[in-house]
Amino acid sequence: MLRRRTLALGLACASCVPLRALATPLARVPILLFHRFAAEAVDSMTLRIANFESQLNLLRRMDCRVIPLSDWVAWRLALARGEDAALPARAVVLTADDGHASQFEAMAPRLRERGWPATLFVYPSAISNARYAMTWPQLRELAADPLFSVQSHTYWHPNLLQERRRLPEATFERFASGQLTRSRDSLVQHLGRPVDLLAWPFGLSDAGLGELARQAGYAAAFSLGNRSATARDSLYEVPRHLVVDSIDARQLAARLEAAFGASAP
């Protein structure tokens, strides 16, 4: 008979969780996705810093347990092996895409204050090149912090479904595989950290891309969908909630309660 176990979270915010507070294998876990931060919302993907702080305060008021994305993946893989794994009740995961400098300047300090982890999905072609992006020294500083994990977002963020329609099949597979492996290899070379998670550019993927990600050695890949992740989701198309400035604390609270108050169908 398999013994119930709790995933080792290793962080004060998510440790010492009593067994009675464990989420079931059918739990819905909100994985939140952020992009860039500023004093004012200058475009649809920019989140005002004041709104971000309100959202973080909401997570605390709602007694959310912010866990590393790697813990969710480990839980999901353990269940697939038939093990009786568990996560904390009211578990939430924080992620950010694209490697914007404001993640280093505005997001990281606020998460450090709370001791909360986050996973950053980065496309290396922008780092130390694009004006909006972090530099490699900034990214190395975050990667060296146990609270932050830096993972792949392909090499230059192409729309892979569009490229599939444009290119012959064999050419497309070489292109897509190159985007996956080149990104991972570049991040490993610059940061000296393992890379085994992927976020699809624009949140777009299909079953064929998932198979390419598996072949490239990724343990899981993440999309959009604006719904909470469950153990029944494909490991290569895990949904995330896109958090933008139009989502205030009240709306975010409704999404979280919908996840915490329901089991997967």
Torsion of CA 34, 35, 41, 47, to 10 degrees: 20
List the structure tokens of 47.
């989140």
pLDDT band at 23 (very low <50, low <70, confident <90, very high): low
In the chain, what are the domains?
Answer: 26-260 (3.20.20.370)
List the structure tokens of 244.
């933008």
Cβ atoms 212, 10 nearer than 8 A? no
Cβ atoms 7, 84 nearer than 8 A? no
Report the half-sphere exposure of 243 (CA within 13 A, side-chain side).
32
Is the model's pLDDT at 117 over the cut of 60? yes
CA-closest candidate to residue 50, choices 250, 254, 248, 256: 248
pLDDT band at 248 (very low <50, low <70, confident <90, very high): confident
Amino acid 10: pLDDT = 38
Is the model's pLDDT at 25 over the cut of 80? no
Give the tens place of pLDDT for each residue, 196-224.
999 999 999 999 999 999 999 999 999 99
Name every residue whose Cβ is closer than 8 Å to that of residue 75 and which is 6 or more positions away in sequence: 7, 85, 86, 87, 231
Rounded Cα distance, 72 and 88, in Å: 10
Amino acid 2: pLDDT = 35
Give me the phi and psi of 37, to 5 degrees please. -130, 145
Give the tens place of pLDDT for each residue, 141-153.
999 999 999 999 9
Cβ atoms 176, 212 nearer than 8 A? yes
Give the tens place of pLDDT for each residue, 4-14.
444 433 333 33
Is the model's pLDDT at 237 over the cut of 90? yes
CA-closest candidate to residue 37, choices 26, 58, 52: 52
Write down the mean pLDDT value for the chain: 90
List the structure tokens of 73.
């993946």
Beta strands in 63-165 (DSSP E): 65-66, 85-88, 91-97, 118-122, 148-152
* Residues β-bridged to residue 135: none
Amino acid 249: pLDDT = 86
